[in-house]
Amino acid sequence: MESIEQTGRTVEEAVGAALKTLGVSREEVDVDVLAEESRGLLGIFGSSAARVRVTLKRDQRQPEPPPPAPAPRESPAPTEEQSPEPEFKPAPSIEPGERSALAEEALDILNQILDRMGLEATAEITEDDAESVSIDIHSAEDIGLLIGKHGQTLAALQLIVAMMANRGQPPESRRRVILDAEGYRARRDRTLEAMARSAAQRAKRSGRPVTLSALTPRERRIIHVTLADDPTVTTRSEGEDPDRAIVVMARQRPRE
């Protein structure tokens, strides 16, 4: 491989990724910048990645390999004990106390949006592992503006930040980004669990299905999970988003 094209959030990031792929240093290659990065509004809208072409310098190119030697006439196949075991490379992990580039990018995007919203708020990364990045938002002002009705504004903000932070990442490196605002998610989860149990009691007392108000996919999942171990009721989702709701029904008792 003498030349490679690579994209990245910045020119430096694209060059670094290309050097890693080629296994060489910066002094051993020529770099052509095909496209500069553009962050756009808030680094979200109208942004584009940088693209570079990295080519090995002539004196660094590998010579053509010699033709393979003829195979011996008798070549016994290796036994299972003789066959070398395949080499497995562990998945990259994040060292404790370190922040990943994706987490830093998500935090930067979130801070830009909060600034444009005119909110005096601070955001901190509370979790950064191989599966997800969690960020909590604190504000001395009315945090309800950021949360919205039933958390809809917070959910929309989470979707935007996650999409932008994962932009340009290979599929295997993409992670969930979870936003919280002063413990709102935990409080909302407790409310949903209580709502589920109350609906189950009403359904059993009346014998009629109980339909809850429209919920987000995450909230519907909490209702289903909360009642999954209750043998006296069953749940199902009805309708289409954003009006999709859960119906809680009492199970029919078997006849004696």
pLDDT for the residue numbered 92: 47
Q: How far apart are CA 53 and CA 235, in angstroms?
A: 55
Q: What is the CATH number of domain 101-182?
A: 3.30.300.20
pLDDT for the residue numbered 3: 80
Q: Count CB neighbours of 50 within 10 A.
A: 21
Any residues with CB less than 8 A from the CB of 46 and at least 6 apart, and which?
Answer: 38, 40
pTM for this predicted structure = 0.54
pLDDT for the residue numbered 85: 36
pLDDT for the residue numbered 217: 87
Per-residue pLDDT of the chain in tens (256 residues, 90 and over written 9): 578 888 877 778 888 888 888 788 888 888 888 877 765 545 445 556 778 888 888 765 555 555 565 555 554 444 433 334 334 333 344 555 578 889 999 999 999 999 888 888 899 999 999 889 999 999 887 788 889 888 889 989 999 999 999 987 888 788 999 999 999 989 999 999 999 999 999 999 999 999 999 888 889 999 999 999 999 999 999 998 878 899 999 997 655 5
May I ask the CATH class of domain 186-250?
Answer: alpha beta
pLDDT for the residue numbered 27: 83
Helices in 117-151 by DSSP H: which ranges? 144-147
Token pair listed for 184: 């709102």
Beta-strand pair 176-181/132-139: parallel
pLDDT for the residue numbered 91: 36
Fold equal for 101-182 and 186-250: no
Any residues with CB less than 8 A from the CB of 51 and at least 6 apart, and which?
Answer: 5, 6, 7, 14, 33, 34, 35
Positions of E strands within the chain: 3-8, 29-35, 50-56, 121-128, 132-139, 176-181, 210-211, 233-238, 245-250
Map out the domains of the chain as residue ranges.
3-58, 101-182, 186-250
